[in-house]
Each structure stands twice: as C-alpha cells, then as structure tokens.
Amino acid sequence: MTIRFLHTESCHVWQKALVVLEETLSELNLEVSYEVILIKTQKDADNHKFGGSPTIQIDGFDVDPMAQGVTKYTLSSCRNYVYQNKFYEYPPKEMVLAALKRTAEQK
C-alpha cells in the first residue's frame, strides 16, 4: 500500500490532517510508511493529481470518493471535504478509515 500526503505550505490545516492520517493508521495497527509531499508549483499539482491542500492518496486514489472524477488539478492552498453531509477543512478520520478499508478489500 502506497500512501501519499500532499499539501501546500500556505494551508493552515495540513498538520491536523497529518495527525488524522497517523491516528487512523495506528488504530488499524498498520505499519505503513507514507510520503509527505509539499506541492510548490502547478507542475507539481498536475504530476501528483493534487486537488487542493491537504490531499491524502492511497495507491494513487484520493481518499475522497467525490474527487475520483477530477481531471483539473490546482495549486489551491485549502480544500474542503464533505463527509456524511458535513463540511470539513481536511479529511475526517472516518473518510480516511473508509478509504483504507476499500483499498484493503480490493487486494
């Protein structure tokens, strides 16, 4: 399993989102390393399929199922998430957990 955590320097919540990722991996007893990538340019955004900060990708797929159809990428400093009809500034733990479970089931 390959996990990438992508963010911009100007995003004010990326560190909180990183804590959520770490807590979720810990809860599942997954000893998976992950890569933290700072997105600096539009080329970086395009190369990493970056939908805004913060973004968590598992095996190349965004943890947010709504992002699967995105084909234009942005250097946006902040991104919003919707999970179970609530708005979040970063992916909630439940969204990350669901993505990890989906990935595990596909293997």
Output the pLDDT for position 107.
Answer: 67
**Residues 89, 81: contact at Cβ < 8 Å?**
yes
Q: What is the pLDDT of residues 15-69, one digit of tens each?
A: 999 999 999 999 988 888 999 999 999 999 999 999 899 999 999 999 999 888 8
DSSP 87: E
Report the distance separating Cα 26 and Cα 79, nearest Å.
25
Q: What is the mean pLDDT of residues 9-17?
A: 95
Q: What is the pLDDT of residues 87-107, one digit of tens each?
A: 999 999 999 999 998 888 776
Report the first-to-last Cα separation within the chain, whole angstroms.
9
Nearest of 73, 83, 97 to residue 23 by alpha carbon: 97
Does the structure show a pLDDT above 80 at 76?
no
The pTM is what? 0.92
Q: What is the CATH topology of the domain spanning 3-106?
A: Glutaredoxin (3.40.30)
